[in-house]
Structure 1
């Protein structure tokens, strides 16, 4: 009799999760704020190493004179996280307006004592995407995956790096070090859009409105690179990516730590291969989460026979999120090529239309490919029973991975 009760409880729990998730996502989509930024002109610098990125970012934060606004998905409770927070406290004590916004679950390791220390120093601290009623399960799954730093309203950073020792190549897991990612420094018109994105998320987390204050939006100078900031919130990105994939004439390059495309995007990739487009996908060989690596295998089995090249990055952990279409467009940001990024998370991408920048990016991508092994159909033809089990489990819960 007891097993009937347990099965009944599991069925009820599964039904509650499904209904909670569906209604929660519907509610968020109805109430979200849709943004559509125009093409801007900015100067953009590419970073592919954490130590280089944070050395430059921290130097510019130390030179700030009016405000520092920071949003990270993850801030770790380790020596590098403390160094980062100490810098924020130092600038707040100097009289600057300093705001730190973190995802509630992504930055769960930041203690209440550390938050009090930050606030006592004058740093305003808030957490975004809190787990709350009535949609407990959906709110626990929807994460703010964005990373934004805006300094004095004139310099901004965005991309894939979070704050923690693993992002400066001090990972406790040697197989995940060094950490390979891409981040952007932006100076010019696009800074206003990133400042706007920060203020919107700041209001969500703190309920404090700062969006209309002109002091955070000084008149920008135009840069040399045309680009567009593209925020997504559970919709739009799938159709957006499909349009770009369908427009490709010669080459598609996808870089992602998690390759779990939707049926629409898989069809677009297959169409591209059928019309002779060179499709390359870079993923990590070592996974940082269970199941995600194996979940990609069924997709690769369809793409490899059509001529796709799948590179498994060997030199540490590959966390980059990029899409390159021919020589005229690339996308760098926070969205992985997976269903969680497409349908659940709050993401932030930068669409760049500049041949010279794309050339620089492709040189970095060539290094990634040189440090990778090519996956073959034979590699996936005789996998273990455990791998098959992981594939099935991952396929069943793909939107949550």
Structure 2
């Protein structure tokens, strides 16, 4: 049935009116000027094309999540009130009020979490070592088990995790299992149903609570965290699936890094999880104080970041890490799509004479992101930054090495999605021995990489270079 011209005109007018309102909203809420200009211009000129993408991708803050933080602060006060005098004294003694490492000085105020002594951190290189350690620790859980992943597959590795969680829950352990609803879109309902029937408290992390978040698909909980009885935590790049063991071509062998952490910082990792859990379940999980006898000599700073932060915590974390380097800065990331602030301090580090090396994959897992990374790599190489492509398989690790005494491992990538859209979790460490271990690991990775030259971009066919420039336009949501 044909519509009259007047009806079509009214529909188009309505689109443009809503487009104007959405454009004003973008100007007021989008954090970066280029992003605000891009959204506002598109909404004004082509609202019938841009309105739906704006509903899905336009917001840069996560409405409502801040309430979880407020509630969580109350819970933290309850925990402190319930501590014995000896526990309170031990906790206070761990706080490092004036870190000697430059890269850590701003982080307590940036994150709202203290810098803490008395920790022990060890590297877990690649999937087999990581999941052997995680599964062994899970098998020893006696009180509370926290498991959080961005992606869980219903494959051989995922079913091993499922069986362990069910067994621990049936043994009387309180088991919390949190998974991202977007990252786990392919996870069958029967997988979660089996966990629930065994007594596991399993919840999806979704941004859909409340009308204001109804259409949002852009905010993802990218954290990977396992905590056993408040004693030991595991953080890093691995999700749950056989590809993370390097058993699924064409990306195999998979290169990734996790860490195992014991000590005072485990409580702060529990607090980070508690915020996520409260958003998903509207209840506070049971948290345990790390035993004072479990720890070591390392100083650690827990850095949770996400779109609910009042500042762009993840981007500022990278800026602080980069600008603190004096002679060496090595970074590994599966994606290289930096924002202007991070790109600027990387160039300044080179001008200071710092050995700036960035390791990225030679194989793509996301074609658009890979194309954008290629043009950013070309711009970085022209600025004197040394970029390398890891050759044996897909590189997924997220590691930063600063000089000879600081290193960070976690979930944050060197891209705008991690900077502003994902919930991420990093742990900064200050220890020369651990930094040496990280340096040795990265030296082996660089030995399996080839350095990127200007010809990678300039030698590409003209249509491919145009496609790279188009991909770069999507950098704010990559």
What TM-score do the two structures reach when normalised by structure 2? 0.77
CA–CA distance in 2 between the matches of 1:239 and 1:94? 43
Displacement of 1:194: 1.2
Helix, strand or coil: the match of 2:358?
strand
Which of residues 29, 50, 58 is equivalent to 1:14?
A: 50
Displacement of 1:286: 0.1
Give the structure 1 partner of residue 353 of structure 2.
276
Displacement of 1:368: 0.7
- 1:376-400 per-residue CA deviation (whole Å, 9 max, x = no partner) reads 1122212123422331232111122
Which of residues 260, 266, 270 is equivalent to 1:185?
A: 260
Alignment size in residue pairs: 393
Matches within 5 A, 1:1-400: 11-18=47-54, 21-23=57-59, 25=61, 27=63, 33=69, 35-40=111-116, 41-132=118-209, 133-137=211-215, 139-171=216-248, 173-174=249-250, 176-210=251-285, 213=286, 216-221=288-293, 222-234=295-307, 235-400=312-477
Helix, strand or coil: the match of 2:407?
strand
- Report the more deviating stretch, 319-328 or 161-170: 319-328
Helix, strand or coil: the match of 2:367?
coil
**Contact 1:21-1:135 at 8 Å conserved across structures:** no
**Contact 1:36-1:230 at 8 Å conserved across structures:** no
CA–CA distance in 2 between the matches of 1:32 and 1:122? 24
Residues 1:56 and 1:38: Cα distance change in structure 2 (over 3 Å): same
CA–CA distance in 1 between the matches of 2:277 and 2:297? 30
Residues 1:13 and 1:349: Cα distance change in structure 2 (over 3 Å): same
CA–CA distance in 2 between the matches of 1:100 and 1:357? 30
Helix, strand or coil: the match of 2:337?
coil
Displacement of 1:24: 5.8
**Contact 1:24-1:135 at 8 Å conserved across structures:** no
- Report the more deviating stretch, 58-67 or 128-137: 128-137
Displacement of 1:217: 2.2
Displacement of 1:257: 0.3
CA–CA distance in 2 between the matches of 1:350 and 1:249? 20
Residues 1:218 and 1:312: Cα distance change in structure 2 (over 3 Å): closer
Q: Return 5+ residue gaps in structure 2 as ranges.
A: 16-45, 71-110
- 1:267-318 per-residue CA deviation (whole Å, 9 max, x = no partner) reads 1111111222111010000011112122022322222133321110011110
Displacement of 1:27: 3.5
**Contact 2:57-2:217 at 8 Å conserved across structures:** no
- Report the more deviating stretch, 344-353 or 370-379: 370-379
Helix, strand or coil: the match of 1:180?
coil
Displacement of 1:225: 1.1
Q: Return 5+ residue gaps in structure 1 as ranges.
A: none
Helix, strand or coil: the match of 2:212?
coil
**Contact 1:101-1:125 at 8 Å conserved across structures:** yes
Residues 1:145 and 1:61: Cα distance change in structure 2 (over 3 Å): same
**Contact 1:189-1:223 at 8 Å conserved across structures:** no
Residues 1:32 and 1:279: Cα distance change in structure 2 (over 3 Å): farther
- 1:207-263 per-residue CA deviation (whole Å, 9 max, x = no partner) reads 1222xx46x224333412111100001322222322332222211111100000001
Residues 1:26 and 1:120: Cα distance change in structure 2 (over 3 Å): closer
CA–CA distance in 2 between the matches of 1:300 and 1:245? 17
Structure with higher Rg: it is 2
Residues 1:397 and 1:352: Cα distance change in structure 2 (over 3 Å): same
Higher RCO, 1 vs 2 (CA within 8 Å, ≥6 residues apart): 1
Residues 1:26 and 1:348: Cα distance change in structure 2 (over 3 Å): closer
What TM-score do the two structures reach when normalised by structure 1? 0.92
Helix, strand or coil: the match of 1:317?
coil
